[in-house]
Every structure is written in C-alpha cells, then in structure tokens.
Amino acid sequence: MRCEVRVDACGVRARGSPKKSVAVCRGGKHPKGNETRVLSVPSRSITSYLGGKAKCAQHIIDALNHPMFNGLHYVEPFVGYAHILRRVENKASYRASDANPLLIVLLLAVQQKRELPRVATRDDYNALRDNRAADPLARAVAAFTYSFNGKEWGGYVSTYERRDGRVDDIPASRRRYYDRLASNAVFASTVLQRVSYADLAPHDCLVYCDPPYDKTTRYRNAEQWNADAFWQTMREWSATNVVFVSEYDAPDDFVCVAHARKMSCVAGGKNQSARTENLYVHTSALARTQFSDRAGPAPPHLDIDLSPPGGGGGAAV
C-alpha cells in the first residue's frame, strides 16, 4: 500500500522531510496559482482499524504536539486503535473514550497487560460474534484482532497473501501492535472509558475528534450517527476548548488547516480509493488568544491569514 501526501509549490511544508510534508489549506483551499504535486511514499504495514490513523497522520500529530498546546489536558472522544493518542506529547493529562463497548474492553485489557484469548477457527469466531453473552474480552479480541481490515466483525481472517506471494499472520501482527501500545507511556497513563462524545463536557482542553465519517462505512452495531448534531457539539466545544476534527468535508463555518491524501480500503485487494482527509477547526477558535500567546511559532501548515477581506487586523494560528 502507498500513501500520498501533498506539498505546495509555494514551499510551505510541515516539519520533517519533504516526503512527509503536507500542504497548507488556506481557508480550506490552496492559494490560487500554486500548483500542487503529489508524492507517492511507501508506507509500512501497521495494524488496521476502520478509519484508523496508523498512516498519513503527521499533519495531525504536528498540530496536536505544537508547543502552544503544551500543558493542556488532552481529550480524544473517538480513540479507535489509539494511533493518534500514543503519539501525543507534553500534555497535563490524557483522557480517551469511544462509544464502542468491545473496543474499550480490548483497549483496557491491552493497557492492563492482560493475556488475550485466541480464536482458533472461523467457527469459534462466528460463535463469539453471535453470542452476546460470551466473555466480553474474547468477543472483543475476535471482533478486532481476527477481523478483516480491522472492521468489527468484518469477517474472520488468519493469514493474508500479498500479491508478491508473502503471507502475513494478521492476528500476530496485531498482537505485536498491542504489545507496543501497552509499553507506550502516554497510553499507559490515559484514562479510558466507554462513553459517547455527546455525554462529554470538556473545558479548557485540547480535543481531537476522528468521528465516523459521514456517508462512509460504519461499524456493525455502532451508535446511530447524527452528523448535524456532531458539528453543533463541535461549535459549542470550540467556545472553551481547542478542537481539531478529522473529516473529508465540514460545514462552511469550519476551516481546513491541514490535509493529507491517503488510500482507503475496507473491501481489500484492488478496491482502494484515494481520498483527501482534512483537519478542521471552527472559525471562532482561530482568533482566540490561546492560538497566539503560547510559546513557539505556529507550525507552517497552520499559518492561516485571518485578515478580513479588504485588509485590517487578524491573527495567525
């Protein structure tokens, strides 16, 4: 699998090598007249999770780890496989949650370094899927560790043969990721809980949301998703928090501050599609003083001109 990232011809890049850079989105669009070239970068095989951020997430990490956000309390309401959480640094505390009960059961077991059960056969997998009264941890391991492409109950998978003939042991690869996650200091210190984002009330926090993307594949038994209600909550949270949201699109009052082009795949094989994933903040948050009064310059891909049309004042993120 290959991962594409965009680099603006104007030369504004994120930290790191050019091949890991992401383009500036000024007001959600590229500066007029600037060409954009696409780089194709090989990416290492990492544990899959539907909508996960194992790859092509440096633009998100750069934003969350900017020095201006050091010392804030960090909240992640859609933690997934913790691919973002484990790379967030220098925060006062870490809280992560998800509405998916089996996912939280799995993450808590990993955090507590419990021995995870094994699912020997497809019949065992199907039996755990169909028996909701079965051991929650056994069901959680089956649902994610032994499911195709990390999709909850997406079909039993044990090995996967690549086009070059190599055979991957998928459950073993995922267990290795769990071991690395368990040894991650940030993950180990995180308060994990099963709760819907709608039941949270963060205040004076740095919040990163990676919600179920609107009009895309959803998890089996996932809570009914209301995109309008989600964006309204993000507006309300933005009044007292620094809120970043990953999505393909957003309402007009949200501004794209960074993006990365990535290959997405749920069905596997050749059924992949290239999508541009954006990082948004609400317009009301851009001019707030906490974006400019903390130590350190803004990262290049968050340098947005907030001057109103016709000139005048304005702050930069």
Whats the size of the chain, residue-wise? 317
- In tens, the pLDDT along 177-204 reads 999 999 999 999 999 999 999 999 999 9
Tokens found for residue 206 = 């740095």
* Cα distance between residue 132 and residue 93, in whole Å: 34
**CA–CA distances in Å: residue 5 to residues 39, 48, 59, 79:** 6, 19, 10, 23
pLDDT of 98 above 70: yes
The answer on pLDDT for 313 being more than 80 is no
Residue 56 and residue 87 in contact, taking contact as beta carbons nearer than 8 Å? no
Residue 162: the pLDDT is 83
- Cα of 243 vs its chain's centroid, Å: 13
pLDDT for 195 equals 97
Domains in the chain: ranges and CATH = 2-98+194-302 (3.40.50)
Total-model pTM: 0.74
Question: According to the model, what pLDDT value does residue 263 have?
Answer: 61
Helices (H), ranges, the chain: 58-64, 101-111, 122-130, 136-145, 170-182, 185-189, 227-237, 283-286
**pLDDT value at position 216?**
52
What pLDDT digit, counting tens, does each position of 134-184 carry? 999 999 999 999 999 888 999 999 988 888 888 899 999 999 999 999 999
Distance, CA of 246 to CA of 281 (rounded, Å): 9
How confident is the model at residue 264, as a pLDDT? 60
Least confident range from 32-36, 132-136, 220-224, 266-270: namely 32-36
Higher-confidence residue: 226 or 12? 226
> How would residue 33 be classed by pLDDT, with cut points 50, 70 and 90?
very low
| Sheet arrangement for strand 254-265 | 191-194, 93-98, 73-76, 205-209, 242-247, 272-282, 254-265
CA distance 60 to 73: 17
pLDDT at 54: 52
Among left, alpha and beta (phi > 0; psi -120 to 50; other), residue 82 is left
User: Strands 167-169 and 159-161: what pairing?
Assistant: antiparallel
* Burial class of 63 by CB neighbour count within 10 A (0 to 12, 13 to 18, 19+): buried
Q: What is the pLDDT of residues 213-267, one digit of tens each?
A: 766 555 444 457 899 999 999 999 999 999 999 999 999 999 998 888 866 654 4
* Mean of the per-residue pLDDT values of the chain: 76
